[in-house]
Every structure is written in C-alpha cells, then in structure tokens.
Amino acid sequence: MSKKHILVITQYFYPEPFRINDMCLEWVNRGYKVTVLTGIPNYPQGEFYEGYSIKENRTENYNGVEIIRIPLVARGHSSIKLFLNYISFVVSGYWWKIRTKLEADYVFTFEVSPMTQALIGVWYTKKHKVPNYLYVQDLWPENVEIVTGITSPVVINPISKMVNYIYKNCTDIFATSPSFVKEIQKRVEDKEKVHYLPQYAEEFYKPVVQKPVPEIPQNDKFKVIFTGNIGQAQGLDILPKTAQLLKGENIEFVIVGDGRYREEFEKEIAQREVKSMFVLVERQPAEYVPQLLATCDAAFISFQNAELWKMTIPAKLQSYMACGMPIIASAFGETERIIKEAQCGVCSPIGDEKVLAQKILSLKNEDLSVMAKNSRSYYEKHFDKQSIMDGLDEYFEK
C-alpha cells in the first residue's frame, strides 16, 4: 500500500522558523509522503536568505520533506513590498496549480498571514477532487484591519468575501484558539467542520539546566525575557515605559529577536534613557532559545490593544510553558485565561505600564519554582504534540 501524500501549502517554511516545519517532519515519521509548496525564505528580515533566490535552491529535501519554492517578492521593509510579497506568492501558486503534475491525497494549508495563500489549496483541491484542510493561525480580515489600520469597506469587503470562499471550500478547518473557532463558525454553514486544534511546541522546547550563555550578562538581576518577532502587533512599546518606572530596581529585560519594529523599539529605549536595563540579542536558532530562557527568571508576552488579540493564543505561549517558564503578560482574553488556569504567572491590562511594573515587582522576590512547575504541567496536559498530531491523523483517515 502506497504512502498517503500530503501537499502542504505555506508561504513560510524551513529555514524560516515556523511550527509547520516540525509538523511536516512528524508526518514523515508517521509514514506520510510530504510535499511542501512554499516561497523563497525571507522572513522576518525581509531579504532572501543566503543561498536562496529566484535561481537558487528552488527545490530541496528537508529530512524527507520535498520542498518546492515558487517565486515571490521579498517582504522588504515597506508596506508596498509586503503587499507585493503577499500577492506574488498567490499569483505564482495559481500558475503552479495549472502546470503541476503532482498528485496528492490531501491538501493542508498552514495559514499565517497572508490568508491569500489558502486560495492555492482551494484551487488545487477543486482541480484534483481531494480533501482540503486549513489550519488558521491568523484571523482574517480582522488581522488586516489591526495590522494595517485599513477599515474601508472598499478594501475589507472583498477580503471578507475571499475568506468566506476559502472556508466554504475546506473539508475541515482547524483554529488555534476556542475564540477563533467561534468567529469562524459565524462564517460557515456547517459549524461542525470547525475544530479547536492548539499549537504545540517542538520537542526541543523543554526545561534545561541553567548555564552561562555569552549573549546574556551573568549578574544577580531579575531577568524578564522576550523571544520572537519584534513587530507592531507584539505591543513591546510597553517595556521601555515600564523600565522607566522601574529605574533603580535590580531588573533587566532581555529581548531576543528581530522584526519590522525593532529599530523603532531601540529608539524608544534610548529616548526613555533605559538602555542599561535592556539586553538586545539578535535572532537566534529556535533550538537555542530554551538555553536562553533558562538563564532568565520569567518570560514575557504582550499585545497591541485590539479585540483580535483577545482571541489569540500566541505560539510563544506554548514555547514558554514547554520550557517551564513563569510568565509575565500584558494581555487579556485567551492568553490571560490560560495563565490563570495554569497558575503559572501574572497578567496586567494591555498598555498599562504601571500595573505591569507592579506585577514584575511582585514576582521579583518570590520563589518561582511552583509557577515553573505549573507551567510545564499545563503544557503537558493541554498542548502535547503526540495528542495533537494523533487528532489530525483521525481527520485524514476519516
């Protein structure tokens, strides 16, 4: 009996640091044949990775995963380049769909923005009459409205119609939070085809023995660490304000990552004269993040103040919890619910630096070992990789 063949559509894939990389490797381990249709890697820095271009490494084998890279415009550092990045991928995908002789048993689209990429999955499954699965990480058109500030019906209504078209043409839809499930169900006739499928963290995210790392100073300061993309949506502007209130306290903020907002973030740190309270570390390999976390006392999550983020469970929450980190959050909604249920940290209202400063001070002199244990225990119970992937297997077999 031949292996079942999954065509995965994702604009971002290895060596870009997204969780779909690990999902594909797990499918290979489970006996599936996996082909990934993706773009030329350029996230988050906005330029093509070294060794990749329109002419280089357009096909690749990644530990048993066959990769097809279709042309796209690098995302750059402007709104125009980002728009061209989104559009170019789906246009290339349309022409690929017409020309390809690839025969898959299922299509699985990993939908982080842009949702336009899910159109390729719809087009392929209509042509080949195979099941179409969608994994929603970013909710559209809400994400477009929040990130771009565009609310004009002239722009949003066509996007909304596109979203409805995609949902209508999916066999099953998976969403990363219960709130996302409720929102998507409002757009589909068959409510039963929408399911909650939380994200898991890769297996290298686990508690590790603390040891000195060159990126982070060795001192007795209470260290709060943030890892990941530094963008507008993350709401990190609250940290320089909070640091200003905590001047004189033995506290240090460690920021690991890169993104479109980093330059502006550094300017705010300088303007508020709190550079001595920040350690800025360039983006690191994901496998190294647990070691960086282990040198710090608590991990930080924040958002912009927008209704969309109330419904979101950020991927870094699972990563932090898998590593057994106490969590400090400037968040509400799903993130706050999980932290409270797990009893693994503290939350402050989004944008309220005074309360956040108080929460940090409240943890500074506490024994955090119980929160650390709670964090890992909740992860094992609710975000276990094998259980989540077993659940997907059941849908494929159905």
249-273 pLDDT tens trace: 999 999 999 887 888 999 999 999 9
Task: State the span(s) of the chain assigned CATH 3.40.50.2000.
Answer: 5-200+384-397, 222-382
Q: For tokens 């790392």, what's the residue?
A: 213
Q: What is the pLDDT of residue 238?
A: 94
- The list of the chain residues with pLDDT below 70 reads 1-2
Backbone angles phi, psi at 303, to 5 degrees: -140, 165
Q: Are 68 and 13 in contact (CB under 8 A)?
A: no
Task: State how far the Cα of 223 lies from the Cα of 33, in Å rounded to an integer.
Answer: 44
Taking all residues of the chain, what is their mean pLDDT, rounded to a whole number? 93
Q: Is the dihedral of CA 153, 159, 163, 166 positive or negative?
A: positive
Q: What is the pTM of this model?
A: 0.89
Q: pLDDT by residue (tens digit) across 59-81?
A: 999 999 999 999 999 999 888 99
Q: Is the CATH number of domain 5-200+384-397 3.90.1010.10?
A: no
In this predicted model, what pLDDT tens digit does every residue of 291-348 receive, in sequence order?
999 999 999 999 888 888 889 999 999 999 999 999 999 999 999 999 999 999 999 9
DSSP 8-state symbol, 365 = T
Instruction: Output the pLDDT for position 153.
Output: 87
What is the rounded CA–CA span in Å between residue 113 and residue 20?
14
Sheet containing strand 278-281, edge to edge, reads 278-281, 251-256, 222-227, 298-302, 327-330, 345-348
The H or E element spanning position 82 is helix 79-99
Considering the domain 222-382 in this protein, what is its CATH number? 3.40.50.2000
Long-range contact pairs involving 386-389 (C-beta distance under 8 Å, separation at least 24): 388/197, 388/198, 388/199, 388/200, 389/23, 389/26, 389/27, 389/30, 389/200
Closest to 64 in 3D by CA, of 37, 93, 33: 33
Structure confidence at residue 387 (pLDDT): 94
Tokens coding 95: 């022409």
Paired with 47 in beta bridges are none
